[in-house]
Structure formats: structure tokens, C-alpha cells
Amino acid sequence: MRRDPKTAADWWLAQAAQGERSQAFFNIAQQWASMDIKAAGEWLNQQGNSEEVDSGRYAFADVAMEHDPVTAMKWAESITQPTLRNPV
């Protein structure tokens, strides 16, 4: 993940079973955003909109809150599930 986060993220997501993809998005976004928030956001934006991607957006917004609250709020607003959006 440290040497090539995009390749690692793509591999991690491809390995995740259907029921594990939401957690994979969360873990990827949390770890990657901690290392390179801009690149993580770009990758996450390319993943489309779905409930499973929402968990990644939640993790991303949570990490972004420490660095850039305005950006974090924009990401939080993009979460489609109110139960995830409201805690951010």
C-alpha cells in the first residue's frame, strides 16, 4: 500500500467478496487518505456512487476532517446513506 497505493487498492477491492466490499472501501479509504489524501480522493471519486462506496466516503471524510474540514464536509454530503452521513 505504501509503494503503490492505487494498485494495492484495486487489488484489495478485487479480492473482496460481494459482502466484504463495503468494508474494503472503508479500509482502503482510511489507510490511503492517511498517507495521501488527494490521491485517495481521486481514486474514490472514480468508484462511482453506491452504498458500498459510501463506507469509503465515510472513512475518507473522517480522515479529511483532521486536515481540511471544508473538504471533509463536502465528502460527507456525498454519502447517500443518512445513517453514515449524519455521524460525520
Rounded to an integer, what distance in angstroms lies between the CA atom of residue 37 and that of residue 39? 6
Q: Which of 52, 64, 53, 61 is nearest to 87 (CA)?
A: 61
Share of the chain above pLDDT 90, in %: 72
Q: What is the pLDDT of residue 84?
A: 84
Looking at the predicted structure, is the pLDDT value of residue 17 above 90? yes
Tell me the pTM: 0.88
